[in-house]
Amino acid sequence: MTFDDDHQLAMHIANDAGRLLMALKASAVLSNGALGDAADAVAQQFIDRAIRLHRPSDAILSEEAPPDERRLQQRRVWIVDPLDGTREYSESGNRNDWAVHVALCVDGIPTAAAVSLPAQGVTYNTGSATRYSVNEKQALRIVVSRTRPTAFAASVAMTLGADLIRMGSAGAKGMAVLRGDADAYLAIGEMAEWDSCAPAAVCTAAGLHVSRIDGTPLAFNQALPRTPDLVICRPAIAEALLAAIAIERSRI
């Protein structure tokens, strides 16, 4: 099969990598750290080979691969996280807050992306007409890191009268906002571009507000591939959320 459309290629790669991860997770042979290590390796190999087969001239930036320095001279760079939320994936039980991230950046701007949530049976992508959903409740809901929630985020939530929801993968958090299961995703503290790129791209395509905590745009395929902080939210609350963040920053 050939894929002339980058959106479709990203979606198929993320979806099929997710299917491989689900099959591996069903194995009775591996568990815990060994399962996570194997899953990272399997998904990395599949995604790398798929991109190199269909887009051999493009560069790749991946969490699970050695640095590809030629990416800094390439216009087209795929930024991928073969398994975002390895901790959640590796735990026993039925956690579903882990994801596969596949994104293409052209001149540092995401142009096609997909976030697969295999345990939830869905893959979101930039090529669809999906728009964000709104499920308004009495209190705003802000998703934050499951293992590293910050006092800063708690203070912002208090200012807005919002509830905090702890969740694993960045992709799972971003898609929770897209689905209307949360109103905002607030990440305080540095994350890698492979964590942020695909969720940011898919959420932007769905009509959500996506920016740094100071309201400036995100940048990708940088020499140091890091995203210092991130806000994804419904456009209707972006002004209030950014204002609350600014208040908390002024207190530091």
Is 61 in contact with 131 (CB distance < 8 Å)? no
% helix, strand, coil for the chain, step of 5: 40, 25, 35
Express as a percent the part of the chain with pLDDT over 90. 89
pLDDT score recorded for residue 135: 82
Mean pLDDT over each residue of the chain, to the nearest integer: 95
Verify that 18 and 119 share a domain, yes or no: yes
Burial 186-198 (b: 16+ CB within 10 A, else e): bbbeebbbbbbbb
- Say what the pTM is: 0.96
Verify that 149 and 224 share a domain, yes or no: yes
Q: Is residue 134 part of a domain?
A: no
Verify that 109 and 10 share a domain, yes or no: yes
Q: Is residue 1 part of a domain?
A: no
| Distance between CA atoms of residues 7 and 36, nearest Å | 28
Verify that 15 and 119 share a domain, yes or no: yes
pLDDT score recorded for residue 29: 93
pLDDT band at 92 (very low <50, low <70, confident <90, very high): confident
Verify that 119 and 145 share a domain, yes or no: no
Q: Is residue 175 part of a domain?
A: yes
pLDDT score recorded for residue 164: 96
Total number of domains in the chain: 2
Dihedral in degrees, nearest 10, Cα atoms 231, 171, 133, 202 = 80
Verify that 108 and 148 share a domain, yes or no: no
CATH number, domain containing residue 199? 3.40.190.80
Is 167 in contact with 179 (CB distance < 8 Å)? no
Q: How do residues 222-238 score in pLDDT, each as one tens digit?
A: 999 999 999 999 999 99
Q: Is residue 57 part of a domain?
A: yes
- Tell me the residue range of the domain where 171 lies: 141-250
Q: Is residue 196 part of a domain?
A: yes
Q: Is residue 133 part of a domain?
A: no
Q: Is residue 135 part of a domain?
A: no
Is 51 in contact with 104 (CB distance < 8 Å)? no
The radius of gyration computed from the CA coordinates of the chain, to the nearest angstrom, equals 17
